[in-house]
Every structure is written in C-alpha cells, then in structure tokens.
Amino acid sequence: DKKVAETIAQKVHEVQAATEKDQAGRIRELNDVRVQLKAVNDLLGATSNYEAFSHKVHKVSVAALALTNRIEAAAPLHSEINALRTAGKGDELIEAAVTTLAKFGDGAPSVAQLQDRFKVVQKAARQAALVPESSQGGGMVGHLFANALHFLLIPPGGPIQGTDAEAVFSRAEYALRGGDIESAVAEVDKLTGLPHDV
C-alpha cells in the first residue's frame, strides 16, 4: 500500500507539474496574443486617425479649390467661404484665413474687369490732368478745354519714363495688361493733383 500511495503521489505530482507547465505556456501564449491584439488595435486606431485626417484634408482641398475658382471668376464667394469654414473647423490657421476672406464675400473683380474699369478711369484722369492749374478749382472753361484737348492727344504706347500723368498711366496700363495688378496700383498711386482725385 505504501508503494501504491507513493506511486499515486508521484503521478499526482507529475500531473500537477505538467498542468502548471501547460498553464504557464498558455498564459505566455495569451500574453503574446494580447500584445499582438494591442498592436493591431493601435494600428487600426492610427489608420483610422490617418483616414479621418486624410478625409479632412481632402474636404479642405476641395473647398479651397472651389474658392480659388470662384475668385478667378470674380463671383460672390459666400458659399465657398462657408464650405471652407465647415471643412476647416477646428484648424486655427484655416479659421483665421476664413475670417479674413469673409470681408471679401462679394468677390473681387477679375483682371479683365479691372482692365475695363481702368480704361474708364484713365480717360477721366487724363482729361483731369489736362485741366490748367488755374481752373482746377472748378472753372468750366478749363474743363471744356481739357475735354477738347483730350480728343486731340494720342496716348503714348508702352511704358514711358517720367512723372507726368501720361507717363504714369502708360506704365500702369502696361502693368495691368501684363496682369501685374500690384505694379499698376503702385503706378496710379504716384499721381498727384486732380488726376489722383479722379
């Protein structure tokens, strides 16, 4: 009996050792699975964040492109500005840009519209430049003289040097024809007297 009890105790001990070893192996496997599952979860989270960011960037890009097209068309910008505001919500830079752009919601004139408007203003300012100094207070004769003289004078072609109104207008017109609005405005700002007031 003693031998049987020892054999049973030994077998129980062997079974317990095998069970403990098997459990330790399963615990290691479970920990490995947990680590892998966490890595997959982190990857999915990163992918999800990337996709959300990518989607937001895409929406902002589409809204910005629509706004650019609208600006070039010299059309009102209200809906495009609102679309950009919605797409860029939460981004401080975009929100600041939208706040600035909101002032120009009615749109800006196109280069072609500015060129057409410049012709009208140029004609009036050229006439004003021909008004004699003594008549600039509002003398009717001086203005009639300037109007008649305007039809007789041929405006210079191309940009010419000088500070008189004709030279300034020639450079401004040349810049505007080239689409350089900034230079055209800088030239017109050089006008003085009655032509500047027009």
Looking at residue 136, its pLDDT comes to 52
Q: Is residue 142 located within the same domain as residue 95? A: no
* Cα 4 from Cα 66, distance rounded (Å): 91
User: Is the CB of residue 153 less than 8 Å from the CB of residue 170?
Assistant: no
Q: Is residue 39 located within the same domain as residue 80? A: yes
Q: Is residue 79 located within the same domain as residue 120? A: no
Q: Is residue 96 located within the same domain as residue 14? A: yes
* Cα 144 from Cα 127, distance rounded (Å): 9
Q: Is residue 118 located within the same domain as residue 149? A: yes
Does this model's pTM top 0.75? My answer is: no
- Helices (H), ranges, 75-164: 78-87, 92-101, 111-130, 140-152
* pLDDT above 80 (res 8): yes
User: Is the CB of residue 81 less than 8 Å from the CB of residue 74?
Assistant: no
Tokens of 58: 């895409």
Residue that finishes a domain, picked among 72, 104, 136 = 104
Q: Is residue 178 located within the same domain as residue 94? A: no
What is the identity of the amino acid at 41?
N
Residue 18 CA to chain centroid, in angstroms? 70
Q: Is residue 62 located within the same domain as residue 115? A: no
Looking at residue 126, its pLDDT comes to 75
> How does pLDDT run across 20-62, given as a tens digit for each residue?
999 999 999 999 999 998 988 888 888 888 888 888 889 989 9
Tell which wins on pLDDT, 6 or 73.
6
User: Is the CB of residue 59 less than 8 Å from the CB of residue 87?
Assistant: yes
Q: Is residue 18 located within the same domain as residue 63? A: yes
Tell which wins on pLDDT, 165 or 143.
165
Domain housing 187:
111-197
What is the identity of the amino acid at 3?
K
Q: Is residue 71 located within the same domain as residue 137? A: no
Number of compact structural domains in the chain: 2
Q: Is residue 11 located within the same domain as residue 91? A: yes
Q: What letter does residue 74 receive in the DSSP assignment? A: T
Looking at residue 67, its pLDDT comes to 85
3-state DSSP assignment of residue 179: coil
* Cα 61 from Cα 88, distance rounded (Å): 10
User: Is the CB of residue 85 less than 8 Å from the CB of residue 95?
Assistant: yes
Q: Is residue 90 located within the same domain as residue 18? A: yes
User: Is the CB of residue 91 less than 8 Å from the CB of residue 64?
Assistant: no
* Cα 159 from Cα 156, distance rounded (Å): 8
Residue that finishes a domain, picked among 76, 104, 132 = 104
Residue that finishes a domain, picked among 53, 85, 104 = 104
